[in-house]
Each structure stands twice: as C-alpha cells, then as structure tokens.
Structure 1
Amino acid sequence: MKIKNIIIVFTLLLSLAGNAQTSFSDRAPLDSVPEWVKEKVTPKEYEIWKTMSSVFYIDYSILKTELSPERKQEIYDGLKKICEGIEKGEFSHRVGTGFTFAKENPIDTTFQWKLCELTQIDENIQLCKREASVYQSVHSNSVELVCTVWYIYNSQKKEVHIVKYEISPNGSHCKFQGGMGMVYQKNLNRLQGSYAGTFRYEIGGRKYCDQLEKSFAFSIDK
C-alpha cells in the first residue's frame, strides 16, 4: 500500500508533509500498535504510540535501532507535542498519513549564534533573540539560510520557553521550501534544531537547487 509520508526530521519537531509515496515494512493499521512495540517501551511510552496511531500509519522501525538517551528523549519530547495537537484536533486532516523518522544526522555545534536582542525582564528572566547562518552556498558567500529564534530564559530555574523560530533565505532570487523545528534540551541546557528542504537560488543568471537536511545546537549560556 502506498501512502503519503510525514518525515520527522529530528524528532518531532519538524513535521514535513512529503510528496513522495512510500511503503513501510514496520507500520501498522490505524488505532493499532504492534505487540513487539509494547514489549520494548514503557507503559507511558506505549500510550503515546497509541495516541499517534489514531491518526498516522506509523513506521516503528526506529524502535529497532540503538538510541542514545539524548536521542530517545528528543524523540519522545517531540511525540508528546504532536499528541497534544492530536488531542486538540489539530491533525484531523492528517488521518491516514504515513509517519516515519529521518535518519539521525550529526549535530553541528560550530555555527556562530549572534545575540541580536536581549531584554532583561527581571533579575533571572531574559527575552532573547539569536540568529545564525546555518547554510552557505559554495558558489557565493552572499547566498545563505539564516535561522532566527526568540526565547525566554529563566537562569535561576534553567528553563527555556521558545516563543518563535524561523528559517529564511538571504540573497537575491532565493527561495527555501521545507520546514524546521527547535526544542530545548534541559539536561544539556541548549537549544537544538533541524531543518530539511529545497533551497533554490540564482547566481549570475545560473540557477541552483540544493537538497538540505541539517541538525544543529547551541548552549544557552554562551
């Protein structure tokens, strides 16, 4: 059976509605979780998969791989957010859609995150805006993708609330089609994100099309 596919690029967070048709070898019918999945997860995790299965044809093959504690937490943090949306009816138009996970990419921590704005709300709470160039064309230094994130940071509680994030092209005749997501990893006190999509641009009358998929992270304290 061929079904439309949703790819979770770095866990959740990023839900990309793909146009490609695909079939899953480890998927199950709607409202059904395979018995082997129940044996591999905790009762709370099983309830998450049950909620997910009410909307999606899920590819469970991710559970057959060795997951680091950080990767596992990232996955379930993302799934919890999707489940919250399911319970609110936000995914009712996605019933019967395929759901899978992209392979794990190395996390780039070398991007230079510029602090653009800082508003001190009180002694411990700050509203911050940061941005970084997360992709640069090999054909021109002036053609790039810039990620911007706004968040509220409580330095006393070591908590972050992400207000907004976006990824935008910088350069002439540029267009990015895709999506991105970001989460706060409290145990590492950092923001982690990823994006995937198609970046089209023109340089000197010549057109380029780059297929991109990238994960990145930066420490809140830096």
Structure 2
Amino acid sequence: MLQTSTILLAIAPLSALAQWDISTNFTFTLYPFDAGDSCEGGGQGGITLTTETIPRHETCIDIEEIFGGNERMGFLNDTFSERVTYPNYVDVDKLPPPGIEWYITSDSIDYDPAKNWSVIWFEQRNQSSDGKSEEGKDGRWVLDTYGGNNDCQRDDVIEFPWYETSCQTGETGRCEFVPHSIKSIKLRPFFHYDFGDCQTWAKYGAAATLVPRVSAAIVTTMAFFLFL
C-alpha cells in the first residue's frame, strides 16, 4: 500500500511565476440560491473574498471556516507544499508564497452553513505586458469549486461535479450557478502549456466531456520517489 511520497519538483514554471506582476487580484463572492439578481450587481452583497497572491502550488479555501470565523484577513497555507522537496540549489525564498493572503471585503459576514450557497460571482483582471486586461484571455489563477466536501476533494463527482474558471473576466466580472452549495474553493496558478486554452466556466465530473490535467508544474516536471 502506498503510504507516503516525497516529490522532487522542477521549478522552472514556479520561477516564471515569481516574475509576474501581482498588482492585480482574484475576487469571488458567494450568494445563496434565492438571492435573486444580486449576483448580477458585480459582486455587491453576498460574502466576498479577494487575494493578490498567486499560490506556489494550490490552496484550498474551506468556505465555512473562512466565512464562519471572526477574522477578516489571514494567510492560508498551500495544501501541497508540505509534500514537495526542492533541490538544494533552489532559493525557496524567491519562489511564490506557499499559500495565499486573503481578505474578506464584504461589508458584513452573514454566512449561514444551512443556506445553499450555489451562486458565485468572480472577477479576474490581469494586466498584461502592455498594461491592459482582456476578457477571455489567459488568467493567472485557476479557480475550482467543490460541493461534496470542504477540503477540495473530488468525491462523488456524479452528484457533485466541480467547476473551473481560468480566463480573465470583463470589468463587471462574471456570475455563474452550480447545482449544489459550494463547500470549498481551490486556487492554483495557471500555466498555458499545461492547461491549453483557459476555461471561461467549465464543468467536470458528471456528464463532463473535458477532463482537466493535473498541473504539469506538479507532475510532468517532477520525479516521484515513492515509499511503499
């Protein structure tokens, strides 16, 4: 039985990530399913989280833990970094942070876990080399939503398919609906050569025709040393 693994990671894509200008951010707002047209208001109302941080690998946001707590800001650790071993020549301090700094920017935190938080608004506006943002172009973050659990695991994908976005949005963001309450959200960096074209809003799991590849930054560029 496989019990643990140590991963030696090639860091070329992470080094490139560290060079990006992170003066932009990723913001999402959740609404209960009966919120009416609130989502179309560009993130007004609801419960909102924003981050400027592009995580080193991937970070899982437990919706109830974050919005049900008393903190309005903090640092959330990567859910993958503890399993990565870097070569000795790597200056880890120069890599992107192993997690994200997050801020709750909504006026109030009215989170009730009994509600069906199945409506999400999000905004990703990234300045390119010419200082402009363009809707539909590759973003810097990938966001995945999960309804089956609070730890970003793909359990019971028939009943709880997961959804993904990785493209830049327009100035007013984008509003989407899922068929279940969103329990957790994963943020990870976008690498074009790994994902291909960005996804405006894609469904995976039940009846899905697209199957996302595991990040090349994590798999195809690393060697696995498995201890049985």
Q: Same fold (TM over 0.5)?
A: no
Which fold has the larger relative contact order, with Cα–Cα distance below 8 Å and residues 6 or more apart in sequence?
2
Larger radius of gyration: 1
Determine which structure has the larger helix proportion and give its number: 1
Give the TM-score taking structure 2 as reference length: 0.25
Determine which structure has the larger strand proportion and give its number: 1
